[in-house]
Amino acid sequence: MILLANVSLVFAQSNDWGLWTSIDVDKKLSKNWDVDVAAQYRMKDHISVTDQLRGSVDISRKTGKYIKLGVGYELIAKYKAKQETYVYRNRFRVQATGSYKYARFTASWRTRLQLTLLENSNNPDIDNQKWVWRNRFGLKYDIRKTPLKPYINIELFHQLFSDLEYSYYQNRFSAGIEYSLNKRNTLEAGYKLETVVEGANKNKLNVLKLGYIYSF
């Protein structure tokens, strides 16, 4: 009984539930140029407390039939409950995205290099990795005669220029569905499993995701 209790305690400590809500505005500036502005609110500890506030802007340019190149900036405000204050991070990123449509399926890929500048570079928070290389692969299906588009994604995280033993430290698996209200308005709901690997230890975050996208 004691062993089972200890196992349950470890499992509870390494698995959490969160909620991520977002608003995304996508503006097409010209045939090849786009700008995207987004805001996000994150909760953690079984959707009981604030985790982060995020705001970002990205500019991208279509360089071919299937490829876009872009740069972006994100301001991250992480709430520290014990101090009752926010810790701020500035994140800069460059990325390339690609997509290919076959029949009603769309395959996508994104590679991103990001640099995060911190108030305290010694903070052990795993999200404080300075240089990170991310690769995301996805598949979306356009259901015939409906506004629904289910999708799945997997994303891999590698830390760069670090003295830590492990370069690969995190992955995310996502599944969800997009619902197009009309040409400009889209709702999104999904589930995301985030696994953080630090040496032999693994921490998991289960995320419910709700989003609204406005395109014009």
- Residue 5 pLDDT > 50: no
How are beta strands 15-28 and 201-215 bridged, if at all? Answer: parallel
- Per the CB < 8 A criterion, the answer to whether 207 and 192 are in contact is yes
Q: Which of 130, 104, 103, 105 is nearest to 118 (CA)?
A: 130
- Residue 2 pLDDT > 50: no
Say what the pLDDT of residue 124 is. 53
Say what the pLDDT of residue 13 is. 47
Say what the pLDDT of residue 3 is. 36
Torsion of CA 111, 117, 122, 128, to 10 degrees: -30
CATH superfamily of 2-215: monomeric porin ompg (2.40.160.40)
Say what the pLDDT of residue 164 is. 67
Looking at residue 184, its amino acid is: R
- Per the CB < 8 A criterion, the answer to whether 40 and 54 are in contact is yes
Say what the pLDDT of residue 8 is. 41
Highest mean pLDDT among 8-17, 107-116, 158-167: 107-116
The pLDDT of 161-188, averaged and rounded, is 90
Say what the pLDDT of residue 81 is. 82
